[in-house]
Structure 1
Amino acid sequence: MQKMNVESFNLDHTKVKAPYVRLVGITEGVHGDKVYKYDIRFCQPNKEHMEMPALHSLEHMMAEFIRNYLDCVLDVGPMGCQTGFYLSVINHSDYDEILQVLEKTLKDVLTAEEVPACNEVQCGWAASHSLEGAKEIARKMLAKKDEWTEVFA
Protein backbone atom coordinates (compact mmCIF):
# COMPACT_ATOMS: atom_id res chain seq x y z
CA MET A 1 0.00 0.00 0.00
CA GLN A 2 1.25 3.49 -0.86
CA LYS A 3 2.21 5.60 2.19
CA MET A 4 -0.35 8.35 2.69
CA ASN A 5 0.05 11.80 4.24
CA VAL A 6 -2.71 11.17 6.82
CA GLU A 7 -1.56 8.87 9.63
CA SER A 8 -4.88 7.06 10.01
CA PHE A 9 -4.91 6.20 6.28
CA ASN A 10 -1.74 4.16 6.96
CA LEU A 11 -3.37 2.28 9.86
CA ASP A 12 -4.72 -1.16 8.96
CA HIS A 13 -8.25 -0.77 10.32
CA THR A 14 -8.83 -4.54 10.00
CA LYS A 15 -6.17 -5.23 12.64
CA VAL A 16 -7.27 -2.87 15.43
CA LYS A 17 -9.53 -3.88 18.30
CA ALA A 18 -11.81 -1.16 19.65
CA PRO A 19 -12.20 0.36 22.10
CA TYR A 20 -8.73 1.78 22.54
CA VAL A 21 -6.76 4.97 23.12
CA ARG A 22 -3.73 5.30 20.84
CA LEU A 23 -1.08 8.00 20.55
CA VAL A 24 -1.18 8.86 16.85
CA GLY A 25 1.80 11.15 16.78
CA ILE A 26 3.73 14.08 18.16
CA THR A 27 4.22 17.27 16.16
CA GLU A 28 6.89 19.70 17.29
CA GLY A 29 6.46 23.38 16.55
CA VAL A 30 9.23 25.77 15.55
CA HIS A 31 9.44 27.09 19.14
CA GLY A 32 9.62 23.64 20.75
CA ASP A 33 5.97 23.16 21.67
CA LYS A 34 4.76 19.61 21.15
CA VAL A 35 1.25 18.60 20.10
CA TYR A 36 0.21 15.06 21.07
CA LYS A 37 -2.64 13.62 19.04
CA TYR A 38 -4.66 10.65 20.32
CA ASP A 39 -7.05 8.30 18.52
CA ILE A 40 -9.86 7.53 20.97
CA ARG A 41 -11.66 4.69 19.24
CA PHE A 42 -15.10 3.86 20.60
CA CYS A 43 -16.33 1.52 17.85
CA GLN A 44 -14.79 -1.30 15.82
CA PRO A 45 -14.00 0.13 12.37
CA ASN A 46 -16.23 -1.10 9.55
CA LYS A 47 -18.35 -3.13 12.00
CA GLU A 48 -20.14 -0.48 14.05
CA HIS A 49 -20.42 3.29 14.36
CA MET A 50 -21.95 5.97 16.55
CA GLU A 51 -25.21 7.51 15.39
CA MET A 52 -24.83 11.21 14.62
CA PRO A 53 -27.13 12.73 17.29
CA ALA A 54 -25.37 10.71 20.03
CA LEU A 55 -21.90 11.37 18.60
CA HIS A 56 -22.71 15.09 18.34
CA SER A 57 -23.82 15.26 21.98
CA LEU A 58 -20.79 13.24 23.11
CA GLU A 59 -18.56 15.67 21.22
CA HIS A 60 -20.09 18.66 23.03
CA MET A 61 -19.79 16.99 26.42
CA MET A 62 -16.26 15.66 25.98
CA ALA A 63 -15.01 18.97 24.58
CA GLU A 64 -16.51 20.85 27.53
CA PHE A 65 -15.90 18.40 30.39
CA ILE A 66 -12.33 17.33 29.57
CA ARG A 67 -11.19 20.93 30.02
CA ASN A 68 -12.23 20.68 33.68
CA TYR A 69 -9.26 18.33 34.13
CA LEU A 70 -6.67 19.44 31.57
CA ASP A 71 -5.78 22.98 30.52
CA CYS A 72 -3.61 21.74 27.64
CA VAL A 73 -6.47 20.52 25.42
CA LEU A 74 -6.39 21.98 21.93
CA ASP A 75 -9.26 20.01 20.42
CA VAL A 76 -11.62 17.08 20.77
CA GLY A 77 -13.09 16.26 17.39
CA PRO A 78 -15.12 13.40 15.94
CA MET A 79 -13.85 11.17 13.16
CA GLY A 80 -15.82 11.34 9.95
CA CYS A 81 -16.21 7.55 10.02
CA GLN A 82 -18.18 7.95 13.27
CA THR A 83 -16.05 5.38 15.13
CA GLY A 84 -14.15 7.68 17.47
CA PHE A 85 -12.61 11.03 18.31
CA TYR A 86 -9.25 12.71 18.05
CA LEU A 87 -7.87 14.46 21.12
CA SER A 88 -5.04 16.95 20.66
CA VAL A 89 -3.11 18.33 23.63
CA ILE A 90 -0.10 20.63 23.80
CA ASN A 91 3.05 19.99 25.85
CA HIS A 92 1.51 17.09 27.76
CA SER A 93 3.10 13.67 27.23
CA ASP A 94 1.55 11.70 30.12
CA TYR A 95 -0.44 8.89 28.43
CA ASP A 96 -1.60 7.46 31.77
CA GLU A 97 -3.04 10.83 32.78
CA ILE A 98 -4.84 11.07 29.43
CA LEU A 99 -6.49 7.72 30.22
CA GLN A 100 -7.46 8.90 33.72
CA VAL A 101 -8.87 12.16 32.40
CA LEU A 102 -10.82 10.36 29.69
CA GLU A 103 -12.36 8.10 32.34
CA LYS A 104 -13.36 11.11 34.48
CA THR A 105 -14.75 12.90 31.43
CA LEU A 106 -16.89 9.92 30.41
CA LYS A 107 -18.15 9.57 33.99
CA ASP A 108 -19.19 13.23 33.80
CA VAL A 109 -21.15 12.38 30.64
CA LEU A 110 -23.05 9.73 32.61
CA THR A 111 -24.15 12.25 35.23
CA ALA A 112 -24.92 15.12 32.86
CA GLU A 113 -28.47 16.40 32.85
CA GLU A 114 -28.13 18.29 29.59
CA VAL A 115 -25.83 18.68 26.60
CA PRO A 116 -23.71 21.84 26.89
CA ALA A 117 -24.24 24.45 24.18
CA CYS A 118 -27.18 22.54 22.72
CA ASN A 119 -28.99 25.55 21.28
CA GLU A 120 -29.12 27.49 18.03
CA VAL A 121 -26.88 30.28 19.33
CA GLN A 122 -23.97 28.01 20.30
CA CYS A 123 -24.37 25.03 17.95
CA GLY A 124 -24.57 24.73 14.19
CA TRP A 125 -27.10 21.86 14.23
CA ALA A 126 -28.80 22.10 17.61
CA ALA A 127 -31.68 19.83 16.55
CA SER A 128 -29.29 16.88 16.16
CA HIS A 129 -28.50 15.76 19.72
CA SER A 130 -29.15 12.76 21.96
CA LEU A 131 -28.16 12.98 25.62
CA GLU A 132 -29.23 9.38 26.26
CA GLY A 133 -27.39 8.18 23.16
CA ALA A 134 -24.19 9.88 24.33
CA LYS A 135 -24.58 8.32 27.77
CA GLU A 136 -24.96 4.85 26.22
CA ILE A 137 -21.75 5.31 24.20
CA ALA A 138 -19.92 6.49 27.35
CA ARG A 139 -21.24 3.50 29.34
CA LYS A 140 -20.02 1.05 26.71
CA MET A 141 -16.59 2.68 26.54
CA LEU A 142 -16.19 2.75 30.33
CA ALA A 143 -17.23 -0.91 30.59
CA LYS A 144 -14.13 -1.81 28.56
CA LYS A 145 -11.72 0.60 30.27
CA ASP A 146 -9.28 -2.22 30.99
CA GLU A 147 -8.87 -2.75 27.22
CA TRP A 148 -8.08 0.85 26.26
CA THR A 149 -4.34 0.26 25.97
CA GLU A 150 -4.73 -2.77 23.67
CA VAL A 151 -4.83 -1.40 20.12
CA PHE A 152 -4.32 -4.51 18.02
CA ALA A 153 -6.19 -7.82 18.17
Structure 2
Amino acid sequence: MKKIASFTVNHLDLLPGIYVSRKDYVGNEVLTTFDLRMTAPNKEPVMNTAEVHTIEHLGATYLRNEEAYKDRIIYFGPMGCRTGFYLIMSGDLESKDVLPLVTDTFEFIRDFSGEVPGASPRDCGNYLDMNLPMANYLAKRYLDQTLYQITEETLTYPQ
Protein backbone atom coordinates (compact mmCIF):
# COMPACT_ATOMS: atom_id res chain seq x y z
CA MET A 1 0.00 0.00 0.00
CA LYS A 2 1.07 3.58 -0.60
CA LYS A 3 2.02 5.69 2.41
CA ILE A 4 -0.60 8.22 3.38
CA ALA A 5 0.40 11.87 2.98
CA SER A 6 1.10 12.52 6.68
CA PHE A 7 3.58 9.62 6.79
CA THR A 8 5.65 11.16 3.98
CA VAL A 9 6.46 14.33 5.97
CA ASN A 10 10.03 14.49 7.26
CA HIS A 11 9.35 14.44 11.00
CA LEU A 12 13.08 14.61 11.77
CA ASP A 13 13.26 18.24 10.64
CA LEU A 14 9.68 19.32 11.41
CA LEU A 15 9.33 22.34 13.69
CA PRO A 16 6.23 23.61 15.45
CA GLY A 17 4.22 25.68 12.96
CA ILE A 18 1.22 25.72 10.62
CA TYR A 19 1.48 23.56 7.52
CA VAL A 20 -0.79 22.56 4.66
CA SER A 21 -1.00 18.81 5.16
CA ARG A 22 -3.13 18.03 2.12
CA LYS A 23 -5.84 19.26 -0.21
CA ASP A 24 -8.77 17.04 -1.11
CA TYR A 25 -11.41 17.60 -3.73
CA VAL A 26 -15.07 16.78 -3.10
CA GLY A 27 -16.93 17.61 -6.27
CA ASN A 28 -15.97 21.21 -7.05
CA GLU A 29 -15.05 21.97 -3.44
CA VAL A 30 -11.50 21.97 -2.08
CA LEU A 31 -10.91 20.90 1.51
CA THR A 32 -7.58 22.01 2.99
CA THR A 33 -6.16 20.10 5.94
CA PHE A 34 -3.77 22.06 8.14
CA ASP A 35 -1.17 20.54 10.43
CA LEU A 36 -1.08 22.73 13.56
CA ARG A 37 2.16 21.34 14.97
CA MET A 38 2.62 22.36 18.60
CA THR A 39 5.71 20.34 19.56
CA ALA A 40 8.80 19.20 17.66
CA PRO A 41 8.18 15.52 16.84
CA ASN A 42 10.56 13.02 18.41
CA LYS A 43 12.48 15.84 20.14
CA GLU A 44 10.03 17.19 22.73
CA PRO A 45 7.60 15.40 25.01
CA VAL A 46 4.17 14.82 23.52
CA MET A 47 1.10 16.42 25.05
CA ASN A 48 -0.90 14.36 27.54
CA THR A 49 -4.41 13.27 26.63
CA ALA A 50 -6.14 15.47 29.21
CA GLU A 51 -4.75 18.74 27.82
CA VAL A 52 -5.17 17.55 24.23
CA HIS A 53 -8.80 16.74 25.01
CA THR A 54 -9.32 20.17 26.58
CA ILE A 55 -7.71 21.98 23.63
CA GLU A 56 -9.93 19.94 21.30
CA HIS A 57 -13.11 21.02 23.13
CA LEU A 58 -12.09 24.67 23.34
CA GLY A 59 -10.68 24.90 19.82
CA ALA A 60 -13.64 23.20 18.16
CA THR A 61 -16.09 25.37 20.12
CA TYR A 62 -14.25 28.58 19.24
CA LEU A 63 -13.80 27.73 15.56
CA ARG A 64 -17.40 26.66 15.02
CA ASN A 65 -18.61 29.90 16.58
CA GLU A 66 -16.14 32.29 14.90
CA GLU A 67 -18.37 34.48 12.75
CA ALA A 68 -16.17 34.90 9.68
CA TYR A 69 -15.06 31.24 9.42
CA LYS A 70 -17.65 29.04 11.16
CA ASP A 71 -19.25 27.91 7.89
CA ARG A 72 -15.85 26.83 6.53
CA ILE A 73 -14.77 24.70 9.51
CA ILE A 74 -15.04 20.98 8.77
CA TYR A 75 -13.01 19.49 11.62
CA PHE A 76 -10.62 20.34 14.44
CA GLY A 77 -9.04 17.50 16.37
CA PRO A 78 -5.83 15.95 17.71
CA MET A 79 -3.14 14.02 15.90
CA GLY A 80 -2.72 10.50 17.17
CA CYS A 81 0.94 11.22 17.97
CA ARG A 82 -0.19 14.04 20.31
CA THR A 83 2.20 16.62 18.82
CA GLY A 84 -0.52 18.85 17.38
CA PHE A 85 -3.93 19.16 15.79
CA TYR A 86 -5.55 18.95 12.37
CA LEU A 87 -7.81 21.72 11.14
CA ILE A 88 -9.83 20.97 8.03
CA MET A 89 -11.48 23.89 6.24
CA SER A 90 -13.37 24.32 3.00
CA GLY A 91 -11.49 26.32 0.41
CA ASP A 92 -8.17 26.25 -1.40
CA LEU A 93 -6.11 27.83 1.38
CA GLU A 94 -2.48 28.28 2.38
CA SER A 95 -0.91 28.42 5.85
CA LYS A 96 -0.63 32.22 5.83
CA ASP A 97 -4.38 32.46 5.12
CA VAL A 98 -5.29 30.86 8.45
CA LEU A 99 -2.56 32.32 10.67
CA PRO A 100 -4.88 35.02 12.12
CA LEU A 101 -7.65 32.47 12.77
CA VAL A 102 -5.28 29.96 14.39
CA THR A 103 -3.73 32.75 16.50
CA ASP A 104 -7.17 33.92 17.66
CA THR A 105 -8.14 30.32 18.47
CA PHE A 106 -5.09 29.72 20.63
CA GLU A 107 -5.45 33.11 22.34
CA PHE A 108 -8.98 32.03 23.25
CA ILE A 109 -7.63 28.74 24.64
CA ARG A 110 -4.79 30.50 26.50
CA ASP A 111 -7.21 32.93 28.17
CA PHE A 112 -10.11 30.55 28.81
CA SER A 113 -11.28 29.97 32.38
CA GLY A 114 -14.38 28.34 33.76
CA GLU A 115 -16.25 25.24 32.67
CA VAL A 116 -14.88 23.66 29.50
CA PRO A 117 -17.68 23.51 26.89
CA GLY A 118 -19.02 20.00 26.47
CA ALA A 119 -17.20 18.64 29.55
CA SER A 120 -20.18 16.84 31.03
CA PRO A 121 -21.24 13.19 31.08
CA ARG A 122 -24.16 13.95 28.74
CA ASP A 123 -22.01 15.78 26.16
CA CYS A 124 -18.70 13.86 26.16
CA GLY A 125 -17.63 10.23 26.33
CA ASN A 126 -14.64 10.98 28.57
CA TYR A 127 -15.57 14.25 30.27
CA LEU A 128 -13.31 13.73 33.30
CA ASP A 129 -10.14 13.58 31.17
CA MET A 130 -9.58 17.37 31.05
CA ASN A 131 -6.71 19.60 32.17
CA LEU A 132 -7.52 23.27 31.61
CA PRO A 133 -4.40 24.74 33.29
CA MET A 134 -2.14 22.66 31.02
CA ALA A 135 -4.26 23.52 27.96
CA ASN A 136 -3.86 27.23 28.85
CA TYR A 137 -0.11 26.74 29.26
CA LEU A 138 0.35 24.84 25.99
CA ALA A 139 -1.70 27.40 24.05
CA LYS A 140 0.47 30.19 25.48
CA ARG A 141 3.62 28.27 24.59
CA TYR A 142 2.42 27.69 21.00
CA LEU A 143 1.57 31.38 20.67
CA ASP A 144 4.80 32.71 22.18
CA GLN A 145 7.25 30.26 20.64
CA THR A 146 5.60 29.69 17.26
CA LEU A 147 2.60 31.73 16.14
CA TYR A 148 3.84 35.16 17.22
CA GLN A 149 7.14 34.59 15.42
CA ILE A 150 6.05 32.55 12.42
CA THR A 151 8.52 32.23 9.54
CA GLU A 152 8.44 30.71 6.08
CA GLU A 153 10.25 27.72 7.62
CA THR A 154 7.33 27.13 10.00
CA LEU A 155 4.69 27.60 7.28
CA THR A 156 6.06 25.08 4.76
CA TYR A 157 6.87 21.41 5.37
CA PRO A 158 10.58 20.51 5.34
CA GLN A 159 11.75 18.43 2.37
- Counting matched residue pairs gives 149
1:23 paired residue number: 20
Q: Which amino acid aligns with 2:87?
A: L
Q: How does 1:63-74 map to 2 (within 5 A)?
A: 63-69=60-66, 70-71=69-70, 72-74=72-74
2:131 paired residue number: 130
Contact 2:47/2:83 (<8 A) preserved: yes
Which aligned segments of 4 or more residues in structure 1 are displaced greater than 3 angstroms? Answer: none
- Give the distance between the partners of 2:47 and 2:124, measured in 1 at CA: 19
Q: Which amino acid aligns with 2:129?
A: S
Q: How does 1:12-91 map to 2 (within 5 A)?
A: 12-17=10-15, 19-30=16-27, 32-47=28-43, 48-69=45-66, 70-71=69-70, 72-91=72-91
SS of the aligned residue for 2:20 comes to strand
TM-score between both structures, scaled by the size of structure 1: 0.89
- Give the distance between the partners of 1:13 and 1:133, measured in 2 at CA: 24
Structure 1 residues 94 and 11, CA, compared in 2 at 3 Å: closer, same or farther? closer
Partner residue of 1:147 out of 140, 146, 150: 150
CA shift for structure 1 position 66: 1.6
- Give the distance between the partners of 1:87 and 1:103, measured in 2 at CA: 13
Q: Which moved more, 1:104-113 or 1:89-98?
A: 89-98
Contact 1:22/1:149 (<8 A) preserved: no
Contact 2:18/2:95 (<8 A) preserved: no
Contact 1:109/1:134 (<8 A) preserved: yes
Structure 1 residues 29 and 138, CA, compared in 2 at 3 Å: closer, same or farther? same
1:84-125 CA distance string (max 9 Å, x none)? 111000125253331101111111112212311011111110
Q: Which amino acid aligns with 2:77?
A: G
- Aligned CA RMSD, in angstroms, stands at 1.8
Structure 1: runs of 5 or more not aligned:
none
Q: Which amino acid aligns with 2:153?
A: E
Identity in percent: 26
